[in-house]
Amino acid sequence: MAPDRACVLAWLRRSAQALHEQRQYLSDLDAAIGDGDHGINMDRGFTAVLDKLPAVAEADIGTILKTVGTTLVSTVGGASGPLYGTAFLRAGTALAGKQELQPSDVALGMDAALEGIMARGRAQRGEKTMVDALAPAVDAFKASINVGQPVADALEAAAAAGEQGMLATIPLVATKGRASYLGERSAGHQDPGATSVTLFLRAMQSGR
């Protein structure tokens, strides 16, 4: 069965739950190489998102995602607000008017989110950022649906690839954001942004 609006809303609620549970962990990762507020900021943002969801419960998927985007931009602050906000806004634009999603639609939304983050943050792969988890996840999702696997399997592949990408940020030297001020000293720490990306991916996978 194709994911519909209810699946998307359930995914957002699970994501909010995961961010809330991992709030301290994300902030601790951030404290090591940034300013230690990533978990606090994301939790604040998704608490605001949960408040907004009832108002768009009957809307199309594009509208729901755009609402998430504008809410994050308005409430998160720091660098993650504009980055996650842009990702959801672009995905929402790509999926405007959709009531349910074919596998190719999910790929379209993921691509738009990734491109949004890369454009807003002027980031490429391998710079110890959110991109390092999201890009391999999008690749894995597309490879999986291209060989005709069901969406649930493709989402599992995406989450696994994202987590691998997240772990691969540990030895990297940051060249973007506040972590870059540390230079070589940023190596040996897992990127908090890549980590929060995997929470969204995992929440998606357990949705089906």
Q: What residues make contact with another protein under the rule CB under 8 A?
A: 35-37, 40-41, 73-79, 81-83, 85-86, 120-121, 173, 175-178, 180-183, 185
CB-nearer residue toward another protein: 103 or 116: 116
Minimal distance, residue 79 CB to another protein, in Å: 4
Minimal distance, residue 90 CB to another protein, in Å: 13
Q: Which two tokens stand for residue 182?
A: 């540390």
In this structure, are residues 125 and 175 in contact, taking their beta carbons and an 8 Å threshold? no
CB-nearer residue toward another protein: 80 or 144: 80
CB burial class (10 A; 0-12, 13-18, 19+) of residue 171? Answer: exposed
CB-nearer residue toward another protein: 122 or 147: 122
Q: How far is Cα 108 from Cα 1, in angstroms, rounded to an integer?
A: 18
Minimal distance, residue 175 CB to another protein, in Å: 5
CB-nearer residue toward another protein: 107 or 194: 194
Name 148's Cβ contacts closer than 8 Å, sequence gap at least 6. Answer: none
Q: Which H or E element spans position 92?
A: helix 80-94
